[in-house]
Amino acid sequence: MRLVVGLGNPGRSYAFNRHNVGFLAADTIVRRHGFGPWRSRFQGTASEGDLAGDKLLVLKPETYMNESGRAVEAAAQFYKIPLDQIFVIHDEIDLVPGKVRVKQGGGAAGHNGLRSIDAHLGPAYWRIRLGVGHPGSPELVKAYVLQDFAKDEQPLIGTMIEAVVQALPLLLSGDANGFMSKVDVSVKPPRPKPPRPDAADDAKPKQGNAKPGCDKPPDGDKSNGGQSA
């Protein structure tokens, strides 16, 4: 059994906050991959299914963000899941919206959910960091992450979540680089290649192919500049 945790705060008023992007990703995993119904378990809600050839438990802690570690610890202990098989999806203010990064271990960087998990289990789990942007000033961060995504941000955030969910089997199979490459391509598709130089040349009109009736210069356009002899 592997464990994927989406971080957020319970309740309708928080549902589309930037801080709840982990919950949104967890919901999308369960929906896109046809997992079982959500059930109240481990001080949260959980859903089970098969992904990348293994059993996967998706968990949304219902303890509020700063106590997320209680729920994650309960699930990990019940199934005896090692830290390197735990994947936590969370918001990251130090990444621009649409940017995704993944790493194993590291610090909490001020994120209360990660800080709680570190305290209960240690830091050696995987972190899937979903960029939500920074308000520009540290004192604005708390209010910023508890605001809903702006209307013009929503399409990009939706694309980012879908990309992560579709690429997740690669990460679960141990291919972190492949996961990142697939996400990057999906969120920011490569620009179309410029036309080949020879193709551009083919598009140019060929000399000597003048249209019928245009083989002589118009009246008054003399070869000596229009001056009379």
Residue 216 has pLDDT above 50, yes or no: no
Catalytic residues: 19
**Which pTM value belongs to this model?**
0.82
pLDDT in tens, 126-140: 999 999 999 999 999
In whole angstroms, give the CA distance from residue 70 to residue 62. Answer: 10
pLDDT in tens, 55-66: 999 999 999 999
Decide if pLDDT at 197 tops 70: no
Q: What is the mean pLDDT of residues 82-98?
A: 95
**Cα-based distances in Å from 35 to 3, 81, 90, 124:** 13, 19, 21, 27
Give the chain's mean pLDDT. Answer: 87
Could you tell me the residue ranges of all domains in the chain?
A: 2-187
Q: Of 225 and 44, which is predicted with more confidence? A: 44
pLDDT at residue 52 in the model: 79
Task: Look at residue 7 and tell me whether its pLDDT is greater than 80.
Answer: yes
CATH superfamily of 2-187: Peptidyl-tRNA hydrolase (3.40.50.1470)
DSSP annotation of 147 reads: S
Q: Are strands 126-131 and 100-104 parallel, antiparallel or unpaired?
A: antiparallel
Contact 20, 33 (CB under 8 A): no
Q: According to the model, what pLDDT value does residue 87 have? A: 98
